[in-house]
Amino acid sequence: MGTTTTYKFPFPEPTDAANVPLHLGNAVKAVDTALKVVDDATKPPRARVVSASVPVSNNSASVKVTWSSAEYKVGGTWWTSGEWLTVPVTGVYLITAMSEFAMFGGSTPVAGTVLAVEMTANDIGQGEEYLSGHGERFEAFAVIQKLQTTFHGRLTAGRKVKVQLAQNSGASRNAVSQLTATLLAKD
């Protein structure tokens, strides 16, 4: 049995016994394996998790967001439950955390209110590392105020990322969040 030079697909040599089903089956399996490699390369690991409504107390320390479902998870076990999203492959990632604070209900938000969203990662054996954050001061309010923060950088496989929220509007506010991560380049 010979193989092609570039892709190493099997083919029968003139000296091989004639067995069309065997030789055709070997060729088809080799092509299928090669196509899976190409298919996987065009689908980088990525995930998006979302939270149910999370109460964020006024002037509280940061509140951790617990994810309630995954809209998609491709290329590894990113999340099964809880607050952490686990990086499946070492490489460069684009990770975006977005939160929507409900500004209705309770007291009217005070002018100068700060809403904040922050991403941190566990630094294996070192505690936690700040990745990215965004706080915004509001003088006027819509019914929903959206904030987001983005991290672009290298993370090693096994690192975990979480989102925390804070606010000082004068009353407890509910927020829903999502965390989206995509591998841009594998190490």
Q: Report whether pLDDT(125) > 80.
A: no
| Residue 144 pLDDT exceeds 90 | no
Which pLDDT value is given to residue 13?
85
The domain of 11 spans 2-41
- Give the residue-averaged pLDDT of 151-163: 91
State whether 37 and 55 are in the same domain. no
Give the Cα separation of 69 and 146 in Å (integer): 20
Specify the 3-state DSSP secondary structure of 178. strand
pLDDT, tens only, 5-57: 887 888 888 888 888 888 888 888 888 777 776 666 667 889 999 999 999 99
| Nearest by Cα to 175 from 80, 114, 98 | 98
* pLDDT top residue among 174 and 105: 174
Within this chain, do residues 29 and 84 fall inside the same structural domain, yes or no? Answer: no
Same domain assignment for residues 20 and 50: no
Q: Are residues 79 and 135 in the same domain?
A: yes
User: What pLDDT is stored for residue 124 in this prediction?
Assistant: 57
Q: Is residue 77 pLDDT above 60, yes or no? A: yes
DSSP single-letter state for residue 109: P
pLDDT tier, 136 (very low <50, low <70, confident <90, very high otherwise): confident
By residue count, the chain amounts to 187
Cβ count within 10 A of residue 148: 15
Confidence (pLDDT) at 108: 72
73 and 99 inside one domain = yes
User: Do 119 and 170 share a domain, yes or no?
Assistant: yes
How many distinct structural domains can be found in the chain? 2
This model's pTM is above 0.75: no
Q: What are phi and psi of 136, to 5 degrees?
A: -135, 135
